[in-house]
Structure 1
């Protein structure tokens, strides 16, 4: 079964503190509250949103993906407040080799609280149990120590530097590659108390 078929309908997931659900137009102000912060977009491939129109264009793009049965991001809704505080998605995948890559962003107001680690662990579990993936990977700029820490805490292993791998922010940049494979997951990851 192709990964895309598992997103019809779009799956909602839950962790102890968050609900992972489709993004809606009603989330506009929540998403703008962090996408307009330069510190948040510092390590992303997208530029800081300069206006509410930039954020609306992002939501238009996401909702179009849902409507055309393409994989789109989960909005990370904090259970305590009901607000969207970030997003996470499979940004690419290879059905033949049962491999997918994760991407994510979180409001700087919630950094260093373990929320993204909790979310990524849940999505990794979904990837191996429901999507039957063999490998899940994620990449970040080598200077993005916060993202590296999330990957390590979710059981991913550092594999090395992909030199001049991506054109972003007007330059070619290196990326640090991390991955977790099914063997890692089956050796004890699934019983994490964070999920």
Structure 2
């Protein structure tokens, strides 16, 4: 697979590389960042390297996981990917994580808009969805900013870290997206 590099006004979305491990560990080990994700905080930089290697190895298949980097410095600030991709049904689901050092700056909305556009324009998707824990206001704002429509709350839909969580579901359809 020839991995797509995406460019936005302030970001470059590129393939993950093992050299991203230290920057990823800074946020992946932060409990505030991992509070609303399905994985536990990383406890060592070695764990982060193993995770990155797992993701890099998946590029041999059809894997759409991008490193989110600042355009002016190539600084790695997070990841965004299609956590679910169904070619036959033409449906994708996006997920993302960004360093707490970059919260509230609009970077993840910018990255999400780019991969949604890519999903419709290049992957021929009909529907792109995203879910978040009901308490995750930051993630919900990203979904709203990129034009996703709230579909409802799935009660106790995810068991993670010993607790059941309600999940909010958002989506955007091809005909709702601005593909110009």
TM-score normalized with structure 2 length: 0.96
Q: Report SS of the residue matched to 2:156.
A: strand
Q: Report SS of the residue matched to 2:152.
A: strand
Instruction: Tell me what 1:3 maps to.
Output: none
Matching of residue 62 in structure 1 with residue 65 in structure 2: no
Q: Report SS of the residue matched to 2:52.
A: helix
Instruction: Tell me what 1:181 maps to.
Output: 173
Structure 1 residues 6-59: Cα deviation after superposition (integer angstroms, max 9, x where no partner): xx1111111111111111111111111111111111100011111111101111
Instruction: Tell me what 1:151 maps to.
Output: 143
Structure 1 residues 41-98: Cα deviation after superposition (integer angstroms, max 9, x where no partner): 11000111111111011111111101x3231410001112211100000001222211
Instruction: Tell me what 2:32 maps to.
Output: 39
Matching of residue 12 in structure 1 with residue 5 in structure 2: yes
Is contact 1:23–1:63 with CA below 8 Å preserved after alignment?
yes
Query: Matches of 2:62 and 2:100 in 1, distance apart?
Result: 28
Matching of residue 94 in structure 1 with residue 90 in structure 2: no
Query: Matches of 2:56 and 2:111 in 1, distance apart?
Result: 21
Query: Matches of 2:83 and 2:52 in 1, distance apart?
Result: 16
> Where do 1:136-147 residues align within 5 Å?
136-147=128-139
Instruction: Tell me what 1:52 maps to.
Output: 45
Structure 1 residues 102-157: Cα deviation after superposition (integer angstroms, max 9, x where no partner): 00000111111111111111111101111111000000001000010010000000
Which ranges of structure 1 fall in alignment gaps of 5 or more residues? 1-7
Task: Supply the RMSD in Å over aligned alpha carbons.
Answer: 1.1
Q: CA deviation at 1:171?
A: 2.1
4+ residue runs over 2 A deviation: none
Aligned residues, how many? 180
Instruction: Tell me what 1:4 maps to.
Output: none
Matching of residue 30 in structure 1 with residue 23 in structure 2: yes
Which ranges of structure 2 fall in alignment gaps of 5 or more residues? none
